[in-house]
Amino acid sequence: MMATYSLPPVSAAALGRVAVLLGGRSAEREISLLSGGGVLAALRSQGVNAQAFDPASRDLGDLKREGFDRVFIALHGRHGEDGTVQGALELMAIPYTGSGVMASAVAMDKTMTKRLWGAVGLPTPRFVWLDADEQSRERLRAVPDELGLPLIVKPPREGSSIGITKVRGYSDLGDAVTLATTYDPDLLCEAFIEGEELTCPVIGSGAQARALPVVRIVAPEGKYDYQNKYFTDDTSYLCPSGLPAAEEREIQRIVVAAYRALGCRGWGRADLMVRASDRQPFLLEMNTSPGMTGHSLVPMSARAAGISYEQLCLYLLSTATLDHVAGTRPADGPRA
């Protein structure tokens, strides 16, 4: 039987004047507008005095000048999920949802994330990182010899599967590199894990961090790309996941460990692969400002745990804080 979670009560009036940051300038702007619109409607439905705020068209300083008390970050990708907006909010002393400056910056960089996870013994696929000066034809052709085929080529600082290619042969490398480097001068090449794709959200901070139910993803032809993530109904999401209970618990344990290793707080979502041959899970990345659209997976997992979209948004907003107080402020976390 799937566990349900109890969230602490939240007073909408106590949250003050709230800005929902949405849109922005990243390659994920379109998705951020959808996420932010959903969050805004949910908060207003709960009596929160919330307003939309698009940093692409407004000066962030307006948040301070107009007296906003806290911010719900619904931005995705660069200049929203990478520590830059978090740093600006720290300087203005406006509490915000999600991870702080360092955790946001590290998690946005998949290479740095993998290095950190590897250092603490968490499983992640083998990889080769190449900066702009290391992408000669000879060096690139050596990558399949190191990682095997197929392999994954991706920009290390993008999300939503943007710029990612599954390389099946040497002849595919050129186009894969061209696509990835359109978004990032550096290149991350990763061993391909044959198996099931999973995602698992976490809410809370520190010792109170809890994993929500695992979602198993079944995409058409195994292609969980940008289009199949957000704009088709052809992808199946299974929650409950259908995994053996012991396997789901182990994945949740690894995900919470990965979240805490990065110093994340508030909420996040880890993406994983489970290798078919031996059921070994491998961490792919940590999203510190996950999607909140109609196709998004955190709300789906929360619903399976007995948490409505509106309750989730209200709870996350209530956890808004700043780096210098996050470690000292007492806060009730979710209870299983």
List, by residue number, the catalytic residues. Answer: 28, 160, 230, 269, 271, 285, 287, 291
In this structure, how many other beta carbons lie within 10 angstroms of the beta carbon of residue 303? 16
d(CA 209, CA 333): 7
Question: Going by C-beta distance under 8 Å and a sequence separation of 6 or more, which residues neighbour residue 258?
Answer: 117, 122, 270, 283, 286
d(CA 236, CA 257): 27
Place of tokens 């010792």: 207
User: How would DSSP label each residue in 207-230?
Assistant: GG-EE---EEEE-GGG---HHHHH
- For 157, the enclosing helix (H) or strand (E) is none
Directed axis angle between helix 110-119 and helix 245-261, to 10°? 110
First to last CA, the chain: 13
Cβ contact 60:110 at 8 Å? no
DSSP three-state, residue 96: strand
- The single-letter code of the amino acid at 335 is R
92 is written with which tokens? Answer: 């203005």
Q: In what order do the strands lie in the sheet with 17-21?
A: 49-53, 17-21, 70-73
CA 188 to chain centre: 18
Cβ contact 42:94 at 8 Å? no
d(CA 165, CA 253): 29
Cβ contact 317:46 at 8 Å? no
DSSP three-state, residue 158: coil
In this structure, how many other beta carbons lie within 10 angstroms of the beta carbon of residue 192? 16
